[in-house]
Amino acid sequence: MQEGVMQRMWDSSHISGGNAAYVEDLYELYIRDPNEVPEEWRDYFDKLPQINGVTSRDVPHSTIQEHFLYLARNRTQHVSPAVVSSDHEKKQVLVLRLINGYRVRGHQNALLDPLKLQQRAPVPDLELAFHGLSVADLDTPFQTGSLFIGKSESTLGEILDLLKNTYCGSIGAEFMHIVNTDERRWFQNRMESVRGRPEINAESKIHLLERLTASEGLEKYLGTKFPGTKRFGLEGGESLIPMLDEVIQRCGSYGTKEICIGMAHRGRLNVLVNTLGKNPADLFDEFEGKKLHEMGSGDVKYHQGFSSNVMTPGGELHLALSFNPSHLEIVSPVVEGSVRARQDRRKDNDRLQVVPIAIHGDSAFSGQGVVMETLQMSQTRAYKTGGTIHVIINNQVGFTTSKPEDTRSTEYCTDVAKIVDAPILHVNGDDTEAVFFAAKLAVDYRMEFKKDVVIDLVCYRRRGHNEADEPSGTQPLMYQQIARQKTTRTLYVDQLIAEGVVTEEEDKAMANEYRNALDNGQHVVKSLVKEPNSELFVDWAPYLGHEWTAECDTRFDLRRLQELAHQLNEIPEGVVLQRQVGKIVEDRRKMAAGALPINWGFAETMAYATLLDEGHQVRMTGQDVGRGTFSHRHAVLHNQKDGVAYMPLAHLAKDQPQIDIYDSFLSEEAVLAFEYGYATTTPGALVIWEAQFGDFANGAQVVIDQFITSGEHKWGRLCGLTMLLPHGYEGQGPEHSSARLERYLQLCAEHNIQVCVPTTPAQVYHMLRRQQIRPLRKPLIVMTPKSLLRHKLAISTLEELAEGSFQTVIPEVDALEPAKVTRVVMCSGKVYYDLLEKRRNDEIDNTAILRIEQLYPFPHEDLLAALSPYKNLKTVVWCQEEPMNQGAWYSSQHHMRRAIAEHVPGSDLQHHLKYAGREASAAPACGYMSTHVEQQEKLVNDAFTL
Ligand code: AMP
């Protein structure tokens, strides 16, 4: 509000005079939190009339001023202004502002850097003078407002001491950006009540030292035994281990049964051995390069995952560290998906039983976009997990050699977390007890508010990026200081000896004991449960060792299918459907009765309904999946009266399995990673991600490359995730035509994934059912149609759903005379219907059209069977809509040639396999409809004439 208006307001009011700014300031504090102002003022403000019943404390400053203007205009409403006469009363509000200043900006003066090299800008808000106070006021008593000091009045000196100790010690707490008042107050109370540093008993101190001994001991041991070998050591950040120990134990005391951890390579070996209890002897074998698993191609030791059970005050707790690729940060959404899957399995709606911990590097946290995506998903219906405990191993060197000023534009590496109002606890990694307290606070906050929280462990990296790297070339000053710096453990031992908690002998004995355990190849986690309770995790044994060719019966009783369809299309009273949606439901009723041919939407929905009926869980997320991008699905209906969603698939039976269909937020990378995490944790569920258009999956390429297509071979982790990718050349331009089939085919090897292009409703029905019913768990990549969703020829019958199966190759469907057939055109997807229409229109009778519906694993036997009637073949053509450098041509032609060669032994027909398709092209498709139509006509003609 402009000054003039303010002036008028006070002139016209008898809440006026020299007190104006004072009262307004006070009122602003009151609005934010009534406890922040002295009691008599609180009473006074409480009694003020309100505008439109506004009581929100989170109102902007201008609203407060308007409120006063309103009060001034309505003097008749018995507004009795407080008279502020004395200097003391004026200073009172300044003191309250000072308190606020420390809460908001104290962290900027906190002692966070163990190396003491950080240069921080001065913070005026923390100076007395900035608030109009001076050392002369230090002995003056003031009301303490909401300050957690145990008395309503205290001298300014005492208040300042409390504020400095609480907010400028080894923990810099950022929480005043949080909108929710309860959360802010919670932090104030927790921090101020212990002056930022709670008392810790001797037993806990010795335990912390033991954990630091383990942390430092392992790195020293590995450094001596395997000098110069890459291990991405934790040295400089050793307090991560006591921190994790406290997080895990404290979660256990809340009743947590499983914790999933994601982390990059720094410190991973330490966490594996000292937190998860991996046998050091196994780690040493890995250092020696031994092959530990017969299956798969394996991965380097600092990407390995691990699982174990540990004992906590609340009982046994299962720990799972996810396998991780080098691509920093991408594991976080995978962990989230795994956690959500475990919560769903346990029906853990309070989200206390399973907790995610994500450990990050400082520059990855500020640099990688997937961090923002993962934070953004944290409170959404589809992806929330009740709050993640994030830990940043902030060694103050970005990536390998970068300085913070080059790796971010924000003050802290953690600032991105503020987008979800997460509190951030920066803590000096060399103050082990502060780290311990930060861990407690983080867990308590997560359990209380079910939201993300961040611990920024400010530490350093004693060595280079890895042990073979020399860091002083690029970070000279930092490494001069590091050379002088005592280790975290040494600092803590010195402290405990000075406090009389341990003696030098006890300290040495502790270090020796740890080293001896390593020498003997013993487990070094005391809480490790030797005979773990296997009920805490899923048994994957039934899914191991299957081939894709294994028999699979996807038939379903016709009558039951009709019953289910009837139930789905019986919309409850009171649910009013929009006109076109009503028509879809009406048509589906007719399809169920056999009065209309079955279309894509019906068949797909029935795949889900029948699977649910057979006891399988179904989960689908993606862009607009409830309706389907092209409005074919309508699995989620929206009541036109009140907008409330109704999902018929969730109302099939009282005790039916879980069905989730959620529209995703506009992310591909984090969402696909999440669903990968879900699918690799829940073999009993059909898990589907659908892209709006197939090429949107480009944004998630790292997930496809590093998890979906290679995870089983690197890590032995099976995954039955299904990706539905709309694909088809319909003149919609370069971005909306191609799902980039060639990308997936290029990644195919060792039967790692399945790539299918179904062309009929019955095919999509059986394909989806097969994916879940068969015990094989392999990713399924599907090119799904757009115009085919409503194509008059792309139809099926009820009998085909009830009786059929997924056909990897669909043989010729018309009654051609095989002896006349001299040409076979093979194709996949929508172009089939163009070819079929052309052949029928032109009454061509010498050409059979075969559809390859599964491009990988290539269905060699089924293609042979489909070719077998044609003994007089002269020409074989592969027809595709995609340009030559795209689609299946380059990746699949050798499979086709092999089948042709086997079909006509001795001939050289396989060498003359012809290509009918678009010319090679840089863009996936042209942008002009007329060119598109021309190209399409040509390639269809070519198929019959080349
Ligand atoms: P977790 O709960 O992730 O620690 O998994 C417990 C155990 O189940 C692992 O040690 C594996 O033996 C097995 N397991 C978990 N996920 C998979 C998977 N996706 N594929 C195969 N086995 C798995």
Residues 375-427: pLDDT tens digits? 999 999 999 999 999 999 999 987 677 778 888 999 999 999 999 999 999 99
Q: Is the pLDDT of residue 832 over 50?
A: yes
Structure tokens at 715: 């890590």
At 319, the amino acid letter reads L
The DSSP-derived string for 876-890 is EEEEEEEETTSTTHH
Give one DSSP letter per residue of 286-315, joined into a string.
HHTT----SSS----GGG--EEEEEEETTE
State the CATH architecture for 202-464+479-524.
3-Layer(aba) Sandwich (3.40)
Q: Is 254 in the pocket of ligand 1 (CB under 6 A)?
A: no
Q: CB–CB of 932/729 below 8 Å?
A: yes
In this model, does residue 9 exceed pLDDT 70? no
Long-range pairs of 34-40 with CB within 8 A, sequence gap ≥ 24? 35/145, 35/146, 35/185, 36/96, 36/99, 36/100, 36/145, 36/146, 37/96, 37/145, 38/92, 38/143, 38/145, 38/152, 39/143, 39/152, 40/82
pLDDT at 73: 56
Ligand 1 within 6 A of 717 CB?
Answer: yes
How far does residue 324's CA lie from ligand 1's centre (Å)?
14
CA distance 857 to 834: 26
- State the pLDDT confidence band at 906, using cuts at 50, 70 and 90: confident
* pLDDT computed for residue 77 by the predictor: 43
Q: Is the CB of 320 under 6 A from ligand 1?
A: yes
Cβ–ligand 1 distance for 345 under 6 Å, the answer no
- pLDDT number for residue 59: 52
pLDDT digits (tens, 9 = 90+) for 316-361: 999 999 998 888 899 999 999 999 999 999 999 999 999 999 999 9
* CA 339–ligand 1 middle distance (angstroms): 13
Q: Counting beta carbons within 10 angstroms of the beta carbon of residue 906, is it exposed (0 to 12), middle (13 to 18) or buried (19 or more)?
A: exposed
Share of the chain above pLDDT 90, in %: 78
- The CATH label, of 2.40.37.10, 3.40.50.12470, 3.30.230.10, 1.10.3210.10, for the domain at 558-803 is 3.40.50.12470
User: Under the phi-then-psi rule, with left for phi > 0, alpha for psi from -120 to 50, and beta for the rest, what region is 801?
Assistant: alpha
Probe target for ligand 1 pocket from 258, 306, 307, 719, with the most ligand atoms within 8 Å of CB: 307
- Distance of CA 538 from the midpoint of ligand 1 (Å): 7
Range list of H helices, 369-526: 369-377, 404-407, 432-449, 476-484, 488-498, 504-519
- Report pLDDT for 231: 81
Q: What burial letters (b/e) apply to 390-419, b meaning 16+ CB within 10 Å?
A: bbbbbbbbbeeeeebeebbeeebbbbbbbe
Q: Can you give the pLDDT at residue 46?
A: 74
Pick the range with the lowest mean pLDDT from 336-350, 529-543, 736-750. 529-543
Which of 290 and 592 is assigned the larger pLDDT? Answer: 592
Average pLDDT value over all residues in the chain:
91
d(CA 878, CA 863): 13
Q: Distance from the CA of 450 to the center of ligand 1, in angstroms?
A: 26
- Provide mean pLDDT across the span 252-260: 98
Give 215 or 33, the one with higher predicted confidence. Answer: 215
Ligand 1, residue 540: give the atom nearest the CA: 22
Rounded to the nearest angstrom, the distance between the alpha carbon of 558 and the centre of ligand 1 is 37
307 lines ligand 1 (CB under 6 A): yes
CA distance 246 to 242: 6
CA dihedral 865, 871, 876, 880 (to 10 degrees): -40
| 202-464+479-524 and 809-945 agree in CATH topology | yes
Best mutation site among 276, 537, 678 for ligand 1 pocket (most ligand atoms within 8 Å of CB): 537
Q: Whose CA is nearest to atom 15 of ligand 1?
A: 681
Give yes or no for a contact between 352 and 314, defined as CB atoms under 8 angstroms apart.
no
Read off the pLDDT of each residue in 634-646 and give the average, rounded to a whole number.
96
Q: Give residue 38's pLDDT band: very low, low, confident or very high (50, 70, 90).
A: confident
**Binning pLDDT at 50, 70 and 90, where does residue 63 land?**
low
Distance 187 CA to ligand 1 centre (A): 38
Least confident interval from 158-162, 265-269, 379-383, 933-937: 265-269
The angle that helices 761-773 and 600-613 make with each other, rounded to 10 degrees, is: 20
Alpha carbons 121 and 718: distance in angstroms, whole number: 51
Q: What is the pTM of this model?
A: 0.91
Q: Residue 718: CB within 6 Å of ligand 1? A: yes
Which numbered atom of ligand 1 lies nearest the CA of 258? 2
CB contact at 8 A, 48 and 69 = no
Higher pLDDT, 289 or 678: 678
Mutate to test the pocket of ligand 1, among 717, 719, 752 (most ligand atoms within 8 A of CB): 717
Q: What's the distance, CA 339 to chain centroid? A: 10
What pLDDT score was predicted for residue 841?
97
Expressed in angstroms and rounded, the spacing between residue 855 Cα and the centre of ligand 1 is: 29
CA separation for the pair 497, 735 (Å, rounded)? 67
Ligand 1 centre to CA of 347 (Å) is: 19
**What spacing in Å lies between the alpha carbon of 575 and ligand 1's midpoint?**
43
| Predicted confidence (pLDDT) per residue in 290-318, tens digit | 766 666 777 877 778 899 999 999 999 99
Helix or strand run (H / E) with residue 861 = helix 860-867
Q: How remote is the CA of residue 543 from the centroid of ligand 1, in Å?
A: 11
Q: Is 537 in the pocket of ligand 1 (CB under 6 A)?
A: yes
Which two three-digit tokens encode residue 584?
A: 């879809």
Eight-state DSSP code of residue 708: I
Ligand 1 pocket member 680 (CB < 6 A): yes
Q: Which among 758, 757, 676 is positioned nearest to 718, based on CA atoms?
A: 676
Q: Which atom of ligand 1 is nearest to the CA of 539?
A: 8
More confident residue, 191 or 2: 191
Q: If you measure from the C-alpha of residue 676 to the centroid of ligand 1, how many angstroms do you get, rounded to a whole number?
A: 13
Atom 14, ligand 1: residue with shortest CA distance? 540
Reference 25, options 136, 100, 123; nearest CA is 100
Q: Minimum mean pLDDT among 87-91, 165-169, 572-576, 861-865: which range?
A: 87-91
**Dist. CA 682 → ligand 1 center (Å):** 10
With 50 as the cut, is the pLDDT of residue 536 above it? Answer: yes
Residue 528 per-residue DSSP state: B
CA of 680 to the centre of ligand 1 (A): 8
Asked whether 850 lines ligand 1 (CB < 6 A), one says no
Residue 81 pLDDT class (50, 70, 90 cuts): very low
Mean pLDDT over 777-790 rounds to 95
Domain positions in the chain are: 2-192, 202-464+479-524, 558-803, 809-945
With tokens 């504020």, the residue in question is: 163
Contact of 722 with 783, CB cutoff 8 Å: no
Q: Which of 293, 540, 713, 715 to mutate to test the pocket of ligand 1 (most atoms within 8 A of CB)?
A: 540
Q: What is the 3-state secondary structure (H, E, C) of 233-271?
A: CCCCCCCHHHHHHHHHHHHHHCCCCEEEEEECCCCHHHH
Choice among 84-88, 502-506, 613-617 with the minimum mean pLDDT:
84-88
For the Cβ of 925 lying below 6 angstroms from any atom of ligand 1, the answer is no
pLDDT of 23 > 90? The answer is no
Region at 817 (left for phi over 0; alpha for psi -120 to 50; beta for the rest): beta
Average confidence (pLDDT) over 36-65: 62
Is residue 781 predicted with pLDDT exceeding 50?
Answer: yes
Nearest CA to ligand 1 atom 17: 717
Please calculate the CA angle 414-420-424 and round it to the nearest 5 degrees: 40
188 Cα–ligand 1 center, Å: 41
Greater pLDDT, 304 or 683: 683
Alpha helix stretches (DSSP H) within 470-620: 476-484, 488-498, 504-519, 558-568, 579-593, 600-613
For ligand 1, whether the C-beta of 446 sits within 6 Å is no
The pLDDT, as a whole number, for residue 859 is 98
> Closest ligand 1 atom, CA of 536?
2
Burial class (CB in 10 A: 0-12, 13-18, 19+), 914: middle
Q: State if residue 638 touches ligand 1 by the CB under 6 angstroms criterion.
A: no
Higher pLDDT, 655 or 464: 655
Q: Name which residue sits closest to atom 6 of ligand 1, judged by CA.
A: 537
d(CA 358, CA 609): 36
Whether 540 is in the pocket of ligand 1, judged by its Cβ within 6 Å, is: yes
pLDDT digits (tens, 9 = 90+) for 155-213: 999 999 999 999 999 999 999 999 999 999 999 999 999 999 999 999 999 999 999 99
Query: If you measure from the C-alpha of residue 599 to the centroid of ligand 1, how many angstroms do you get, rounded to a whole number?
Result: 38
pLDDT the model gives residue 186: 97
> Can you tell me the distance from the alpha carbon of 264 to that of 338, in angstroms, rounded to the nearest whole number?
17
What is the three-state SS of 64-117? HHHHHHHHHHCCCCCCCCCCCCCHHHHHHHHHHHHHHHHHHHHHHHCCCCCCCC
774 CB less than 6 Å from ligand 1? no
Minimal-distance CA residue to ligand 1 atom 1: 320
pLDDT at 4 over 60: no
Tokens of 920: 């090679």
**E strands present in 139-179:** 141-143, 153-155, 171-174
Determine if ligand 1 sits within 6 Å of the CB of residue 823: no
Rounded distance from Cα 263 to ligand 1 centre (Å): 17
Instruction: Tell me the CA–centroid distance for residue 620 and ligand 1, in Å.
Output: 22
User: Looking at residue 57, what is its pLDDT?
Assistant: 46
Tell me which residue of 493, 510, 518, 528 sits closest to 248, measured CA to CA. 528
> Looking at domain 809-945, which of 3.40.440.10, 3.40.50.11610, 3.20.20.140, 2.170.150.70 is its CATH number?
3.40.50.11610
- Asked whether the predicted pLDDT for residue 872 surpasses 90, the reply is yes
Judge whether 689 and 714 are in contact, CB under 8 Å. no
Cα of 346 vs centre of ligand 1, distance in Å, is 16
pLDDT for the residue 61 = 58
